Structure 1
């Protein structure tokens, strides 16, 4: 029993890594988008648009790439192996 749980440990850490990375990039994306809106309010349009693009990239890499394409399938696989 202990050996089978030890075999799942790397899978658990990979799910934890991708889920926490997705959460961190989502939080960073929200912060950068808020900063872009505040910069737009001051009148610096070019910098605001650049910040908006960077914020959108953080949203793309965080929830979509790290969350949906990596963490979710790995989590489902881990749960299926735990149910065995």
Structure 2
């Protein structure tokens, strides 16, 4: 089993990096959305719209572009390759 993990080390590292990247970008998106709510409650409508749009873009890239399109398929591929004898 150790030999299998050693041969797939590059895939595991790529999966970890993509997962961390998706999490960080999603966290930035959530932070921008909270800033947008604060700006909206403070009466700064234009700033709130810009922050909201930037938060949506960050959430799109974090959740969909990296999370669903990269991390999930890589995880499935790694599980299949590790399950093969």
1:23 aligned to 2:23?
A: yes
**Coordinate RMSD, CA, aligned:** 1.1
**1:5 & 1:15 partners in 2: Cα distance?**
13
Q: TM-score, normalised by structure 2?
A: 0.92
1:46-65 equivalences under 5 Å are 46-65=46-65
**1:30 & 1:2 partners in 2: Cα distance?**
39
Cα shift at 1:3: 4.2
Aligned length: 84
Question: Tell me, which stretches of 5 or more residues in structure 2 are unaligned?
Answer: none
Match of 2:80 in 1: 80
Instruction: Write out per-residue CA displacement over residues 7-60 of structure 1, whole angstroms, 9 at most, x where no aligned residue.
Output: 200100111111111111111111110000000111111111000000000100
1:8-19 equivalences under 5 Å are 8-19=8-19
Q: TM-score, normalised by structure 1?
A: 0.93
Match of 2:39 in 1: 39
